[in-house]
Chains A and B, each alone.
Chain A
Amino acid sequence: MAERGESSEAVMLKKTEEEKLRKGKMIVGDESKAGYEEEGKKVKLVTSDGVTMEVEISIVKEMEIIQTFIGATDTDDSFIFPISNVSSHILNQIIELVKGEYDQELAKKLSHDELKEILVAANYLNMKTLFHFIATAIANVIQNKSVEFVRDFFGIVNDFTEEEEAELRKTNAWAFEGVDED
Chain B
Amino acid sequence: MADLISSIPDDILLYILSSLPTKQVVATSVLSKRWNPLWRSVPSFDFSICYENREEACDHFHSVYSFLRSRDRDQPLLRFRLNYFINCFNPTVHYSYRAIRDTESMIKTRIEDALLSGCPNLEDLEVKCILINAELKFSRFSTLGNAKFFPLEIVKNVKVLSTDLFRQQDWIYEFQNLVQLKLDYLYIQNNWVEFLETLRHCPMLQTLAIGCVGKISFGSSGRGHEEGMLPDPQSVPACISSHLQTCSLGCYRGSMDEFLFARYIMQNAKYLRTMKIKIYSYNGEKPDMIRELSSCKKSSDTFKLSFDN
Q: Are B27 and A147 in contact (CB under 8 A)?
A: yes
Q: Which of A116, A119, A150, A179 contacts B31 (CB 8 A)?
A: A150
Q: Are B30 and A160 in contact (CB under 8 A)?
A: yes
Asked, given contacts A117-B4, A135-B19, A157-B2, whether A174 binds B30 with beta carbons under 8 Å apart, the answer is: no
Give 10 A-B pairs besides A135-B19, A156-B5, A179-B27 with Cβ atoms closer than 8 angstroms. Answer: A120-B8, A139-B17, A147-B31, A151-B31, A156-B2, A156-B32, A157-B32, A158-B32, A175-B27, A179-B24
List the B side residues contacting A155 at CB < 8 Å.
1-2, 4-5
Q: Are B19 and A174 in contact (CB under 8 A)?
A: no
Q: Are A142 and B20 in contact (CB under 8 A)?
A: yes
Produce 1/0 per residue, B212-227, CB < 8 A to A: 0000000000000000
**Cross-chain pairs A/B with CB under 8 angstroms, 26 sampled:** A120-B4, A123-B12, A135-B19, A142-B24, A143-B21, A143-B24, A147-B27, A147-B31, A150-B31, A151-B31, A154-B31, A155-B2, A156-B5, A156-B31, A156-B34, A156-B35, A157-B2, A160-B32, A160-B33, A168-B30, A172-B26, A172-B66, A174-B59, A174-B66, A175-B27, A175-B29
The 10 closest A-B pairs by CB, nearest first: A155-B2, A175-B26, A139-B19, A174-B63, A175-B27, A168-B30, A154-B5, A135-B16, A156-B32, A155-B1
Asked, given contacts A150-B31, A159-B32, A174-B62, whether A144 binds B24 with beta carbons under 8 Å apart, the answer is: yes
Q: Is B36 an interface residue (CB 8 A)?
A: yes
Minimum distance in angstroms from A164 CB to a CB of chain B: 9
**Interface, chain A (partner B; CB < 8 A):** 113, 116-117, 119-120, 123, 135-136, 138-139, 142-145, 147, 150-151, 154-160, 165, 168-169, 172, 174-176, 179
CA distance A143 to B32 in the complex (A): 18
List the B side residues contacting A169 at CB < 8 Å.
30
Minimum distance in angstroms from B236 CB to a CB of chain A: 30
List the A side residues contacting B12 at CB < 8 Å.
119, 123, 135
Query: What is the predominant secondary structure among interface residues of chain B facing chain A?
Result: helix
B contact residues, total (Cβ < 8 Å): 30
Asked, given contacts A119-B8, A150-B28, whether A136 binds B19 with beta carbons under 8 Å apart, the answer is: yes
Nearest-neighbor residue (CB-CB) of A142 within chain B? B20
List the B side residues contacting A165 at CB < 8 Å.
30
Q: Which of B1, B4, B8, B27 contacts A172 (CB 8 A)?
A: B27
Nearest-neighbor residue (CB-CB) of B20 within chain A? A139
Minimum distance in angstroms from B30 CB to a CB of chain A: 5
Q: Which of A135, A136, A143, A169 has the most CB of B within 10 A?
A: A135
Minimum distance in angstroms from A45 CB to a CB of chain B: 20
Q: Are B32 and A172 in contact (CB under 8 A)?
A: no
**Interface, chain B (partner A; CB < 8 A):** 1-2, 4-5, 7-8, 12, 15-17, 19-21, 23-24, 26-36, 59, 62-63, 66
Nearest-neighbor residue (CB-CB) of A132 within chain B? B15
Query: What is the predominant secondary structure among interface residues of chain A facing chain B?
Result: helix
Nearest-neighbor residue (CB-CB) of A169 within chain B? B30
Nearest-neighbor residue (CB-CB) of B63 within chain A? A174
Minimum distance in angstroms from B290 CB to a CB of chain A: 29
Asked, given contacts A156-B35, A174-B62, whether A120 binds B7 with beta carbons under 8 Å apart, the answer is: yes
CA distance A172 to B33 in the complex (A): 16
List the B side residues contacting A145 at CB < 8 Å.
24
Q: Are A175 and B23 in contact (CB under 8 A)?
A: yes
Asked, given contacts A139-B19, A147-B30, A156-B35, whether A116 binds B4 with beta carbons under 8 Å apart, the answer is: yes
CA distance A110 to B167 in the complex (A): 44
Q: Are B20 and A143 in contact (CB under 8 A)?
A: yes
List the A side residues contacting B8 at CB < 8 Å.
119-120, 123
Minimum distance in angstroms from A37 CB to a CB of chain B: 26
